[in-house]
Amino acid sequence: MSNNKLIFAAIIAVVLLIAGTFVILEYFGPPRVYLLDFSGKPGMEVVGYVDEDGVKTDMKLTLPTQVKLRGKHISFAFVARDPALDREGLRVKVNVDGAHVTDVTVSSVTTWKGLRGQLHRPRLLTSLRGNLMFRGNTPEEIAQIRK
């Protein structure tokens, strides 16, 4: 074999090693630990659900409270149990593996009712690939959550 073929084979081997490491860490690596710290009017009850990697759990929370979740993909939706309290304010702080990532507030100045979020924090290239999305609930979603 010539030197050019050996160099080419070495480059291909390194690329495959990097790609394999990426796949193993992202798809077969350990789940992340998400801590959702909910706050708002003390004593206010919120209802909703959390979804940890496809496993949906209905919840009823009394503010302030924390919810600890383990998974790669997390989604949640919460709204005030009493419709009269929709504009009281709901805040969630998101911590991933013990590090503060973001916080979102729903208050009387926003048009949102309740809070819905999807969280995914990859192991590699987090700043380029992190996926944190938040939005309010539609009237149909609120009716579904409250029933």
Answer yes or no: are the C-beta atoms of 46 and 142 closer than 8 Å. Answer: no
pTM, 2 dp? 0.74
Instruction: Report pLDDT digits (tens) over 79-92.
Output: 888 877 766 778 88
Looking at residue 30, its amino acid is P
Instruction: Report pLDDT digits (tens) over 110-135.
Output: 666 788 888 877 766 666 666 677 77
Residue 89 φ then ψ, to 5°: 115, 135
Adjacency order of strands within the sheet including 32-40: 65-71, 32-40, 90-96, 99-106
> Is the pLDDT score of 20 beyond 60?
yes
The length of the chain, given as a count of residues: 147
pLDDT confidence of residue 98: 86
| Greatest Cα-to-Cα distance within the chain, rounded to the nearest angstrom | 78
Token duo for residue 25: 């860490």
Answer yes or no: are the C-beta atoms of 48 and 79 closer than 8 Å. Answer: yes
